[in-house]
Amino acid sequence: RLRGRVLDAVTSTPVVGVEVQANLVVPASPGDEEPEAQSLAHARTTADGAFVLPPLESGAALRLELSHPDYLPLSQQMAPGETTLELRLLTGARLEGTVKDREGRLVSTFLSLRPLSPVGAESITM
């Protein structure tokens, strides 16, 4: 069995309701960039942030995918034989504003994606 606990990365409080998906990582086929993942098990964290997954394939390359509407998704590769995990989720951020071109006209469509860094490691200047 794989047991774990999910905490808020900043406050260290348990996060309830996190979807935890255990996937078997299948090596990429020639010409594919990403390896495939086959779902093995699923759990949801309880009030204390805990989850338990049934016994999984030992020695296989496994990845946990965590999701919660109030936090950024997390993908965690598991070491062979690992049976207990503590995982920490970061909250996301939403930025709204108005974008104008050099002449001051409103830009109707604007999208800026930035990689996320650990808390406090990056600032954005606009």
pLDDT of amino acid 74: 94
- Which are the contacts of 18, defined by CB distance < 8 A and separation ≥ 6? 6, 44, 45, 49, 51, 66, 67, 68, 71, 89
pLDDT of amino acid 126: 45
Per residue of the chain (126 residues), what is the pLDDT tens digit? 889 999 999 999 999 999 999 998 877 677 766 767 788 899 999 999 999 998 877 777 789 999 999 999 999 988 877 889 999 999 876 667 788 888 988 887 766 665 555 554 444 444
pLDDT of amino acid 94: 65
CATH homologous superfamily of 2-89: Transthyretin/hydroxyisourate hydrolase domain (2.60.40.180)
DSSP structure string for 38-86: EEEEEEE--TTSEEEE----TTS-EEEEEE-TTB--EEEEE-TT--EEE
pLDDT of amino acid 125: 44
- The domain limits of the chain are 2-89
Is 0.85 surpassed by the pTM of this model?
no
